[in-house]
């Protein structure tokens, strides 16, 4: 393994931010820390960067102990949520900053800065000051600045959160293509499940200072380890099974809707209910069905003009779509 | 070094982190001089004050409080300080209210005039008042009345003017912010102006008021120049220390009086610091800023009031200027430059000495406080607290006490730093550490405007402390650096209290010359010398404004952009 974290603990006063977190990241991999605010994801990223000192931790890079290497010498690139470009330096000098720290000569620096500007499509902005750029452009420069010194690991701390929705999506795509082109090991923190699912090779779902589950987006979605992961990535209908202990779940898009009249009474896996609400969301229609005590969410493709509140319906969940959800680890 | 080789050479595992070493070095560089030039002199004073023929004890204090004359001096000081504090605070509150919550015509000019006393030698107020109200003043001569301004009344009046700008600045800052929603709700509920003032304005500015009270109290009780000039037989602690040390060579009694003065001053300063920390909570992040709307009647009252105050402040300065340029104030008002031929030790040389010392103090002061502020930013909580305390401690030490401490600590053969005594260097050092607290606070405030994300970004890119400071932090606080430099320059030009004990005939300073001229009955020449000092200060202030304007113009940066969004 390239980057390994073991037994990371961190307390802030009475609050436990990280409770023994361990993780291994492969070289060239893109890993996302996903979780609600306060789950410890940003603290974990800052500990990897060396900006925060953990109470207990083992961190190695390529088999070498990182704990005694100060942040300055780790050669990790970082992009923050807030715009962190040095306001008194031009775009070019911002990008050259890390090179100057490493004693690059003028020629090598110029070549590298130009290459980085091309990489983020900001060639004409070299002599601008940060305050003359839009938020999206500033974050692209921050990315170029972080990548310029050829970092061993790229750390992204919610780099898209401060941007408008449209800019955020464009930049998301750009980050993904940059990362696959450069194959730089990347760790990103986010609270946005779509961001994580689009970008990550593996997602680390965190909750209350601990890791709930680690895996590729697809695996986490299809086989969530517990209720927390299931609810955090997408939506999940959940019921206690017959014994009442473990929980059964099914994704809204896997539930099938059958006209009440067509459903044979007592047929296997059919539940009767009444439509409570129909929400049209464009590409899908979300139907909330009241069946017994809890509502069940059903998502159907396209618009469904035939459905209306108050209509009796029957639901069917195919056996292969049913998931067994354990209790959350934390 | 080639790019690829450079990239591969990191990360390393250094046995020794140069950055931590540099931080430790800088910490020592700011902390050790603070110990040597602030704590040590203080310790010497305390030691001497407890030093009796029978060993350490309270004997000297027993003598002090048993002597009616000395007990009287303490009461005098407290009387003056309490009276002047109350008058100054009330007047300054009204003035700050007129500036911040009303829209009188010429608001900027009025606000600038109110700051004039900051830029004059510290005894100028008393000098001006004597030209107006003294035995040979304009009023007494014109109307043939005999006013007795010397003593208690004179000191209080002079100190009110002397301390006024400090109170005004604090109260102005407190009144500048306000939560519009509170005022709107009060108005909607039908509260009248008086009630709104009592229930909204006054409570919201109570911390500013308390700050102003304690700051003014400290300034007045430690003031030396004005009581020297206008006090007559009415002795206060600051003048009595001088009397004991310079007049009678009684160092021990000087030390005891110094400690008696240090106690109330230190209490006031630390209460003020404590209050100031609670200042920030007044305005939440959801408050709406207050907008002042014109109100003709109110604005006319505000103009009348502030014009009256500014008129008095300007009159005092003006009368000193006029008196310096006439043949004999107030008898012969024909123009004359004869008072500019100074009949004082070394003539005009002390003015040049002052300028040199002040320039050096400006440079050294900026370096010392900015390094202190940068180091404080990087330390852990315990060391931060300790260094912060050391850095603001000088605010609690009256100038007379610091000056006496310098005699005790450095004017002795067994001190390896004894060579400093009698040099210009010790005057520079004394000024830097006398005003260290204020300079340090301006520096930390400026630094706190620079987001820590910049430090972290620099660190992750491989930037060390020196590079981060030099390339990012210092350029961002450059305007504050210039302001701090001018602050040290101006204070060093006008101060009297600390340096009075450590000047020698060869290292005479301008403000001391003013005192000597006044002391020898040469009030007109004292006025002329003061005018020279004020002219130098004016040049420095104009240079400051020009530099700041240039920085703003070139950088195109506004303050909010210093912080990350």
Residue B32: helix, strand or coil by DSSP?
Answer: helix
Q: Above 80 in pLDDT, residue A25?
A: yes
pLDDT tens for each residue of A125-169 = 999 999 999 999 999 999 999 999 999 999 999 999 989 989 999
pLDDT cut 90: percent of chain A above it: 68
Q: What are the C-alpha distances in Å from B461 to residues A176, A185, B174, B562?
A: 22, 16, 40, 20
Q: What distance in Å separates the CA atoms of residue A165 and residue A167, rounded to the nearest whole number?
A: 6
pLDDT value at residue A246: 63
Best CA proximity match to A61, nearest among A200, A185, A190, A148: A185
Buried b (16+ CB within 10 A) or exposed e, B11-36: beeeeeeebeeebeebbeebbebbeb
- Non-local CB neighbours of B140 within 8 Å, separated by 6+ positions: B133, B134, B146, B147
Least confident of A149-158, A208-217, A296-305, B253-262: A296-305
pLDDT value at residue B347: 87
Q: What is the DSSP string of B448-483?
A: HTS-HHHHHHHHHTT--HHHIIIIIIHHHTHHHHHH
Buried b (16+ CB within 10 A) or exposed e, B298-319: bbeebbebbbebbebbeebbeb
Strand pairing category for B326-328 and B55-56: unpaired
Burial tier of A14 (Cβ tally within 10 Å: 0-12, 13-18, 19+): exposed
Residue A197 CB neighbours (<10 A): 18
Work out the average pLDDT over A22-42.
95
Burial tier of A315 (Cβ tally within 10 Å: 0-12, 13-18, 19+): buried
Query: Can you name the residues that pair with A21 across neighbouring β-strands?
Result: A8
Which strand (E) or helix (H) includes residue A312?
strand A312-316
Residue A240: helix, strand or coil by DSSP?
Answer: strand
pLDDT value at residue B507: 93
Residue ranges of chain B whose pLDDT lies below 70:
1-16, 278-287, 555-565
- Given pLDDT bands bounded at 50, 70 and 90, which one contains residue A115? very high
Q: In this complex, which of B20, B453, B467 lies closest to A80 when CB atoms are compared?
A: B453
pLDDT value at residue A110: 96
- Non-local CB neighbours of B449 within 8 Å, separated by 6+ positions: B477, B559, B562, B563
Do B58-336 and B1-42+344-565 fall under one CATH topology? Answer: yes
pLDDT value at residue B270: 87
Residue A183 CB neighbours (<10 A): 11
Whether the Cβ atoms of residue A208 and residue A180 lie closer than 8 Å to each other: no
- Given pLDDT bands bounded at 50, 70 and 90, which one contains residue A330? very low
Q: In this complex, which of A68, A77, A89 lies closest to B13 when CB atoms are compared?
A: A68
Q: Which residues of B touch A86 (CB under 8 A)?
A: 454, 457-458, 471-472
Q: What distance in Å separates the CA atoms of residue B292 and residue A83, rounded to the nearest whole number?
A: 34
Length of chain A (residues): 330
Length of chain B (residues): 565
Residue B283 CB neighbours (<10 A): 14
Cβ distance of B557 and A131 shorter than 8 Å: yes
Which strand (E) or helix (H) includes residue A189?
strand A185-190
pLDDT tens for each residue of A62-93 = 999 999 899 999 999 999 998 799 999 999 99
Residue B85 CB neighbours (<10 A): 26
Give me the residue spans of the domains in chain B.
1-42+344-565, 58-336
Pick the CATH number of B1-42+344-565 from 3.40.50.1000, 1.10.3720.10, 1.10.1050.10, 1.10.3210.10: 1.10.3720.10
Q: Above 90 in pLDDT, residue A190?
A: yes
Q: Is B188 on the interface with A (CB under 8 A)?
A: no
Q: Above 80 in pLDDT, residue A243?
A: no
Q: In this complex, which of B453, B457, B462 lies closest to A149 when CB atoms are compared?
A: B462
- Non-local CB neighbours of B229 within 8 Å, separated by 6+ positions: B123, B126, B127, B130, B158, B515, B518
pLDDT value at residue A93: 96
Burial tier of B270 (Cβ tally within 10 Å: 0-12, 13-18, 19+): middle
pLDDT value at residue A116: 96
- Non-local CB neighbours of B35 within 8 Å, separated by 6+ positions: B390
Residue of A87, A115, A130 to mutate, testing the B interface (most B Cβ within 10 Å of its Cβ): A87
pLDDT value at residue B284: 52
pLDDT value at residue B292: 87
Q: Cα distance from A191 to chain B (closest Cα, Å)? A: 19
Residues of A (68-127) whose Cβ lies below 8 Å from B: 68-78, 80, 82-89, 97-105, 108, 111-112
Apex A78 CA angle, A77 and A79, nearest 5: 135
Q: What distance in Å separates the CA atoms of residue A310 and residue A173, rounded to the nearest whole number?
A: 43
Query: Can you name the residues that pair with A323 across neighbouring β-strands?
Result: A249
Which strand (E) or helix (H) includes residue A65?
strand A64-65
Q: What are the C-alpha distances in Å from A67 to residues A74, A75, B13?
A: 10, 13, 10
> What tokens appear for B5 in the block?
């080789």
Q: Is B1 or A228 the better-scoring residue by pLDDT? A: A228
Q: What distance in Å separates the CA atoms of residue B400 and residue B257, rounded to the nearest whole number?
A: 10
Q: Is B562 on the interface with A (CB under 8 A)?
A: yes
Which strand (E) or helix (H) includes residue A210?
strand A210-215
Whether the Cβ atoms of residue B303 and residue B105 lie closer than 8 Å to each other: yes
- Non-local CB neighbours of B543 within 8 Å, separated by 6+ positions: B486
Q: Cα distance from B383 to chain A (closest Cα, Å)? A: 17
Least confident of A32-46, A240-254, B107-121, B463-477: A240-254
Strand pairing category for A294-301 and A284-291: antiparallel
Q: Is B556 on the interface with A (CB under 8 A)?
A: yes
Q: Which residues of B touch A47 (CB under 8 A)?
A: none
- Given pLDDT bands bounded at 50, 70 and 90, which one contains residue A268? low
Q: What is the pTM of this model?
A: 0.86
Q: Cα distance from A164 to chain B (closest Cα, Å)? A: 14
Helices first, then strands: H and E counts in chain B: 28, 4
Q: Which residues of A touch B452 (CB under 8 A)?
A: none
- Given pLDDT bands bounded at 50, 70 and 90, which one contains residue A249? confident
Residue A7: helix, strand or coil by DSSP?
Answer: strand
Q: What distance in Å separates the CA atoms of residue B389 and residue B381, rounded to the nearest whole number?
A: 12
- Interface A:B, Cβ pairs < 8 A: 131
- Given pLDDT bands bounded at 50, 70 and 90, which one contains residue A265? low
Pick the CATH number of B58-336 from 3.30.1360.120, 1.10.3720.10, 1.10.287.3510, 3.40.640.10: 1.10.3720.10
Burial tier of A254 (Cβ tally within 10 Å: 0-12, 13-18, 19+): middle
Q: Is B14 on the interface with A (CB under 8 A)?
A: yes
């Amino acid at each position: 393994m390239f980057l390994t974290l073991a037994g990371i603990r961190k307390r802030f006063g009475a609050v436990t931010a990280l409770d023994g977190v361990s993780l291994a990241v492969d070289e060239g991999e893109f890993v996302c820390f996903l979780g609600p605010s306060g789950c410890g994801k940003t603290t974990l990223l800052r500990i990897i960067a060396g900006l925060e000192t953990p109470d207990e931790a083992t961190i190695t890079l390529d088999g070498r102990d990182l704990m005694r290497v100060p942040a300055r010498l780790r050669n990790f690139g970082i992009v923050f949520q807030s715009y962190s470009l040095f306001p008194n330096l031009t775009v070019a000098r911002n990008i050259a900053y890390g090179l100057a720290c490493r004693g690059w000569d003028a020629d090598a620096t110029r070549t590298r800065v130009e290459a980085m500007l091309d990489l983020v499509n900001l060639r004409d902005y070299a002599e601008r000051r940060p305050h003359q750029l839009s938020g999206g452009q500033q974050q692209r420069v921050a990315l170029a600045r972080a990548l310029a010194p050829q970092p061993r690991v790229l750390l992204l701390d919610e780099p898209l959160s401060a941007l408008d929705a449209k800019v955020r999506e464009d930049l998301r795509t750009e980050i993904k293509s940059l990362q696959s082109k450069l194959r730089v090991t990347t760790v990103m923190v986010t609270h946005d499940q779509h961001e994580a699912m689009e970008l990550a090779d593996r997602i680390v779902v965190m909750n209350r200072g601990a890791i709930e589950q680690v895996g590729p987006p697809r695996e986490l979605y299809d086989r969530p380890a517990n209720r927390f992961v299931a609810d955090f990535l997408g939506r999940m209908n959940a019921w206690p099974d017959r014994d009442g202990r473990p929980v059964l779940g099914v994704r809204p898009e896997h539930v099938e809707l059958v006209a009440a009249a067509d459903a044979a009474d007592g047929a296997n896996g059919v539940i009767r209910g009444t439509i409570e609400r129909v929400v049209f969301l464009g590409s899908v229609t979300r139907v909330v069905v009241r069946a017994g005590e809890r509502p069940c969410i059903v998502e159907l493709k396209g618009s469904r003009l035939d459905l209306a509140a108050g209509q009796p319906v029957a639901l069917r969940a195919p056996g292969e779509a049913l998931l067994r959800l354990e209790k959350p680890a934390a | 070094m080639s790019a690829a080789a450079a990239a591969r050479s990191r990360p390393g595992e250094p046995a020794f982190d140069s950055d931590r070493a540099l931080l430790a070095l800088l910490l020592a560089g700011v902390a050790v001089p603070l110990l040597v030039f602030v704590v040590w002199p203080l310790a010497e004073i305390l030691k001497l004050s407890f030093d009796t023929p029978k060993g350490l004890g309270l004997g000297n204090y027993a003598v002090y409080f048993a002597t009616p004359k000395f007990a009287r001096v303490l009461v005098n000081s407290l009387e003056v300080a309490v009276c002047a504090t109350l008058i100054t605070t009330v007047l300054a509150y009204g003035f700050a209210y007129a500036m911040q919550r009303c829209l009188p015509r010429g608001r900027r000019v009025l606000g600038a005039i109110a700051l004039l006393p900051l830029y004059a030698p510290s005894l100028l107020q008393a000098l001006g008042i004597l030209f107006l109200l003294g035995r040979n003043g304009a009023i007494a001569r014109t109307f043939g009345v005999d006013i007795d301004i010397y003593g208690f009344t004179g000191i209080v009046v002079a100190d009110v003017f002397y301390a006024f700008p400090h109170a005004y600045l604090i109260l102005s800052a407190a009144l500048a912010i306000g939560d519009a929603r509170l005022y709107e709700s009060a108005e909607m509920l039908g509260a009248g102006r008086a009630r709104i003032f009592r229930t909204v304005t006054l409570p919201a500015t109570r911390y500013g008021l308390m700050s102003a009270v304690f700051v003014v109290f400290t300034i007045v009780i430690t003031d030396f120049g004005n009581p020297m000039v206008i006090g007559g037989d009415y002795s206060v602690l600051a003048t009595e220390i001088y009397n004991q040390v310079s007049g009678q060579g009684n160092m021990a009694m000087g030390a005891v009086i110094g400690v008696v003065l240090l106690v109330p001053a230190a209490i006031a300063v630390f209460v003020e610091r404590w209050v100031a920390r609670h200042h920030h909570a007044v305005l939440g992040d959801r408050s709406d800023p207050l907008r002042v709307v014109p109100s003709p009647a109110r604005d006319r009252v505000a103009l009348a009031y502030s014009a009256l105050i500014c008129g008095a402040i300007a009159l005092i300065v003006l009368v000193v200027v006029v008196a310096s340029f006439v043949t004999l104030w107030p008898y012969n008002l024909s123009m004359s430059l004869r008072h500019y031929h100074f009949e004082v030790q070394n003539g005009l040389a002390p003015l040049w000495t002052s300028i040199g010392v002040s320039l050096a103090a400006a440079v050294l002061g900026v370096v010392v406080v900015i390094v202190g502020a940068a180091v404080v930013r990087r330390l852990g909580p315990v060391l931060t607290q300790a260094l912060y305390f050391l850095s603001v401690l000088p605010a609690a030490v009256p100038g007379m006490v610091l000056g006496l401490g310098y005699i005790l600590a450095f004017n002795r053969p067994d001190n390896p730093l004894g060579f400093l005594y009698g040099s210009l260097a010790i005057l520079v050092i004394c000024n830097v550490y006398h005003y260290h607290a204020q300079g340090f606070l301006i520096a930390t405030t400026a630094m706190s405007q620079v987001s820590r994300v910049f430090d972290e970004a620099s660190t992750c890119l491989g930037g060390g402390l020196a590079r981060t400071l030099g390339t990012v932090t210092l350029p961002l606080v450059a305007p504050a650096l210039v302001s701090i430099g001018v602050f040290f320059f101006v204070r060093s030009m006008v101060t009297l209290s600390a340096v009075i004990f450590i000047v020698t005939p060869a290292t005479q300073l301008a403000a001391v010359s003013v005192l000597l001229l006044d002391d020898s009955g040469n009030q007109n020449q004292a006025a002329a010398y003061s005018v020279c000092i004020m002219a130098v200060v004016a040049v420095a202030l104009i240079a400051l404004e020009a530099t700041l304007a240039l920085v703003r113009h070139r950088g195109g940066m506004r303050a909010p952009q210093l912080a990350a969004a």
